Structure 1
Amino acid sequence: MKHCLSTAEIEGRLQAAGVQPTLQRIAICKFVLCEADHPSADDVKEWAEHNLGKISQATVYNTLNTLVDAGILKEFRFNHSDKVIYDCNTHDHFHFVDENTGKIYDINPEDVQLNISIPKKFKIKDVKLIFKGEVK
């Protein structure tokens, strides 16, 4: 279970990232950082409408993009879906997608052994590794 941040902690993270902590941003942050598990924008909009009342798709997308730009969230696009997935784990990690349920799991890089051999003219800046299969 995730450790849920207090409203003050979320406000502090937003302010530290140079983002004005509006009520909608704080609420969406609380959902994405504390409750959701790799949500899409549609998941966030559905939650927001249920919990905050009427909210536009543009407001949800703008808020999520602001949080990504501020480094509070990461966005991922997976081949198994045309949706953008938002991840509150901003540390380097890989993903495992359960093909039966669609659930996405974080995989710690220390749990994966890679032996990469590419020509020296290439400088790797980022690795996105996705495992697909089923959870037993």
Structure 2
Amino acid sequence: MSSSDHPRFAHPRPRFFTAYSFAIVTGTLFVLSWVGQFVFQLIEVRNDAAEHGQVFEWAQFWPQFFSSTFENWQSEFLQLVWQAAGLALFYFWGSSQSREGNDRMEAKIDRLLTERGIDPQEFEIEEEEQATEQKGHL
């Protein structure tokens, strides 16, 4: 019986809205803002057509709407994606910021081990021995 099969470790699956609440709220805000852009741009294009004595045409509206949509996505969404993806990538590569977090976590674990009467140095010796053994097998 593995530790994940043990009843103490069994967690019921969260309900759908609990598990995906952030995505649902984000998606809802996205759809509402896009509908808002559509409505206000539609009003603007209809008013422009009326000012110039022209008839509003959907064929002229759609390219303008999608052009402004993709312009917004390019300027805002792609910047945000780069920030999130770039930070994740640099964290994965081990930038100085991620090392600080690892050092801090290691210090906390060492303190917990010390409080339990376990010498954290024992684990460092074991890790060094394992690394030496692995190099010997290569």
TM-score, structure 2 normalization: 0.21
Q: Larger relative contact order (C-alpha < 8 A, sep ≥ 6)?
A: 1
TM-score (norm 1): 0.21
The higher radius of gyration belongs to 2
- Structure with bigger strand share is 1
